[in-house]
Amino acid sequence: MLVVTKTHPGLVRENNEDTILVQEPYIYAVADGMGGHASGEIASRSALKAFGAATHSLRRDSSEHIRDTLIEAVKKANNHVLKMAVSNDEYTGMGTTLTAVYLPGNGTAYFCHVGDSRLYIYRDNTLEKRSHDHTYVEDLKDKGCITSEEAAIHPERHILMQAIGVEENIHVQCEIFSITPNDRLLICSDGLSDMVTDAEIAEIMLEADTEICATNLLEKALNNGGRDNVSLILIDMAQSPKKAEEVSENV
């Protein structure tokens, strides 16, 4: 497995409020924070710190407990950020997305998600979005009120229906699915998925070199405007574990 991460403030914003967690060898997560001043950055970092701490026990978990542990870890991250937000005026209203995969190396991927960061699977030259956007516009789409094309450019597409650190009760999307040695997984913030269409991402994924592919995804987001912070984790299941270690040292 080869893992490449990229994060960039983009071309408009001064801060980078996205955070990436690579907890080798198994946990990979992206969080996209929001809030005034620098609080979005605090929210995404704090959420992934709490999430990372709560997923340490996963390595000892039997498979039937993994799902519960992941959901619990997201809820712990939520409580942690919410507590910070209500106890400090500077942090009022902050929140973050959280999208994570756990890959124990047995051909199974465990996935948990809140917000509008995304998980894609690229398999047999086809890109599939696995995460459900917790947005107002996605709800409109689900109800058949608007099309996917209309959703992609809708002026209110950034309104989140759920985020970490905003409310006590959250619904966590959590799924378990099989992965093959030729799959690629892409976790990204909306700074990528908003600037680069799914068709463009699929086209860039034709690049076989994982590092070049990740660089090309980031550059495409910047070339298309770079209006938001851009973060991505590209996980290539086909590459050897040795390479993954080399990459993690460079992250």
Interface contacts to Mg ion, rule CB under 5 A: 32, 189-191, 228
The minimum distance between CB 117 and Mg ion, in angstroms, equals 8
Closest to Mg ion by CB, 186 vs 244, is 186
Answer left, alpha or beta for residue 225, where phi above 0 means left and psi between -120 and 50 means alpha: left
Compute the least distance from the CB of residue 228 to Mg ion, in Å: 4
Cβ 204 to Mg ion, closest distance in Å? Answer: 19
Cβ–Cβ < 8 Å for 174, 70 = yes
Please provide the DSSP assignment of 192-234 as one string. Answer: HHTTS-HHHHHHHTT---HHHHHHHHHHHHHHTT--S-EEEEE
Nearer to Mg ion, 183 or 190 (CB): 190
Which residue has 């992941």 as its token pair? 70
The answer, yes or no, to whether the previous bond of 25 is cis (omega within 30 of 0) is yes
**Residue whose CB is less far from Mg ion, 32 or 138:** 32
- CA atoms within 13 A of residue 129's CA, in its CB half-sphere: 17
- Is the CB of 133 or the CB of 236 nearer to Mg ion? 133
The answer to whether 250 touches 20, Cβ cutoff 8 Å, is: no
Residue type, 116: D
* Nearest to Mg ion of 133, 190 (CB atom): 190
Minimum CB separation of residue 33 from Mg ion in Å reads: 8
What is the nearest approach in angstroms of Mg ion to the Cβ of residue 17?
A: 7
